[in-house]
Structure 1
Amino acid sequence: MSAPEGDRLRIAVQKSGRLSAPSLELLTAVGLGFAPAGDRLFCAGENAPVDLLRVRDDDIPGLVADGGCDLGIVGADVLGEFAAGAGVRPPSLLRELGFGRCRLAIALPQGLNWSGPASLAGLRIATSHPRHLAAWLRANAVAAEIVTLSGAVEIAPRLGRADAVCDLVSSGATLAANALREVATVATSQAVLVGRAGGLDAARAAIAGPLLQRLDAVLGVRGSRLVLCQAAREALPALLPLLPEVSTHTVTAIEGDPERISLQALCRRAPDWPALEALRGAGARDLLVLPVERMLA
């Protein structure tokens, strides 16, 4: 589908890093296809009037805020850092996407004592999130020096550039590898979808609307499973409580055997092996657990 340049939607995503691959997977899940990227920053849409811009994570809020892009997928930590800047109108938060979860945390070298935020008084704290850190220090009435770095924050104490760090933490392995221990959480983060604060014009809104509906159809069932089985009708009251987080279920009579039913249940998470074994023990047979990619109500 082709469209004039002014009638095409442009989405910014991280070119490389922890959000890059999941962002592209999500866009594929909602039906978008793009020309092979390679090292190119701009990728034309192949099956819809939607183009992709692959850039640094830190650049995405600004690109959406100034209209260079219409939508963007970015870390909530990066969005918050941008929004805390003076005199800026940040993009609007449209959706929380549920991947790229991490936290912005204070970490200290193993030999440095911690008895609460006051322990940071007078210390130098290295971070790539100075606005988040400054707000947290103010909230805790702590006077400390903020050392702003664009990368390699975790090695700042070893290099003598800081006494502590405020950095993104996922598993904690990087902190441990640099002899640091996490002591406090400044903020939590995940991937989010953002859009222009003033909204889109009519042409772009007409493209974005169905995409957001598709996105909700994918996000709404992420992690869900469809559980199918057969059982005696009298076993149904015992089976339903054993299904994990059922959002809806359907019971159908089996043709030719009115005393047996087919049960179909949409569960918000996958049943583990003990749950499946309990279902079998309660009379379920021919159990199937299927992934759910999307669901339109």
Structure 2
Amino acid sequence: MNKLKIAIQKSGRLSDDSVKLFKECGIKFEVGKSKLKSTSRNFPADFLFLRDDDIPGYVEDGVADLGIVGKNVLVEYGNDVESIKELGFSKCRLSLAVPREVEYPGVEYFQGKSIATSYPNLLGQYLKGKGVDAHVHQISGSVEIAPGIGLAEGVCDIVSTGGTLLSNGLKEVETIFKSEAVLIANNKLSDEKKELLEKLLFRINAVQTAQNHKYVLLNAPNDKLQQIIELMPGMRSPTITPLAQEGWSSIHSVIKESDFWENIETLRKWGAEGILVIPIEKMIS
């Protein structure tokens, strides 16, 4: 039987988020610090636990059929793979940073200076677009130490919260690239594996759509039902149930979480009360 070989990062936040996604898709497999491969018990897939930087190459070569990587890695290495879907998690940014005591005038500060980075291609493209001629000093890992030891006047590195920069006496001054997790695929998947990929995407879409929506229940006076229904249209239409108290009804609907918070004050003004907001595990249109 055909199986998908899916490469994910073996440790770190991207690994945790990727495993969480597959678990929420109902795919069961074992995860452990020393594991390099795991077979799903209920979905035709093998999971390979690899270094993030290696995943695009393994997918390009067909060692893995699919992979989850940071978009920054995918663009930096430029492997010939198909980008299937941006996944919306493990968001971060690639930023320029300088010592905190530096008075930073703008990107022209880096003209003629040295910048330490693990992302020379992305940085080079950015500097070229800005017309800045700087020396890009490529190093792997712990680039934050470079200014402190006199290796470079600035760094270009991945930033999530900025805590690592601060702890090393640096400040973020320019964002050059925004990244998130991306599902990639080999360009030559068989028809059978393409079919399995579609089944996997169906599950992923159901999980992610549910994460952005909430099931809302509330009680409302009947004379405001139409206005409230227009704010809470639901997947097809809301469920309206009369309450024992005359002149009142219960409204059940599914709406985007962002829409709920935008409209909550209006709902309350129209007399809505007893409002319950319930997470949705899966949502299939």
Q: Return the offset for 1:139.
A: 1.0
Identity of aligned residues (%): 37
SS across alignment from 1:230: strand
Map of 2:214 onto structure 1: 225
Q: Return the offset for 1:90.
A: 2.2
Name the structure with the higher helix share. 2
Map of 1:172 onto structure 2: 162
Map of 2:12 onto structure 1: 17
Corresponding position: 1:289 with 2:277: yes
What code does the residue aligned with 2:83 have?
Answer: L
CA–CA distance in 2 between the matches of 1:237 and 1:11? 48
Aligned residues: 284
1:220-245: CA deviation from partner (whole Å, max 9, x where unpaired): 232321111122221224545776x9
Map of 1:28 onto structure 2: 23
What code does the residue aligned with 2:117 have?
Answer: T
1:10-56: CA deviation from partner (whole Å, max 9, x where unpaired): 10111111201110000011121113434111111111110100111
Unaligned runs of at least 5 residues, structure 1: 84-88
Q: Return the offset for 1:182.
A: 1.2
Q: Return the offset for 1:117.
A: 1.9
Q: Return the offset for 1:191.
A: 0.6
1:156-208: CA deviation from partner (whole Å, max 9, x where unpaired): 1112221100011111121111121111111000011111123x102212221
For the 8 Å contact 2:24–2:207, the answer to whether it is kept is yes
TM-score using structure 1 length: 0.87
SS across alignment from 1:221: helix
Say if 1:115 and 1:240 are closer, same or farther in 2 by CA, change over 3 A: farther
* 252-261 or 287-296, larger mean C-alpha shift: 252-261
Q: Return the offset for 1:150.
A: 1.1
CA–CA distance in 2 between the matches of 1:123 and 1:62? 32
Map of 1:183 onto structure 2: 173
* 58-67 or 249-258, larger mean C-alpha shift: 249-258
CA–CA distance in 2 between the matches of 1:251 and 1:18? 40
For the 8 Å contact 2:229–2:238, the answer to whether it is kept is no
CA–CA distance in 2 between the matches of 1:226 and 1:67? 42
Q: 1:215 aligns with which of 197, 204, 221?
A: 204
For the 8 Å contact 1:248–1:266, the answer to whether it is kept is no
* 177-186 or 250-259, larger mean C-alpha shift: 250-259
Q: 2:41 aligns with which of 41, 46, 71?
A: 46
CA–CA distance in 2 between the matches of 1:152 and 1:113? 24
Say if 1:287 and 1:249 are closer, same or farther in 2 by CA, change over 3 A: farther
Map of 1:203 onto structure 2: 192
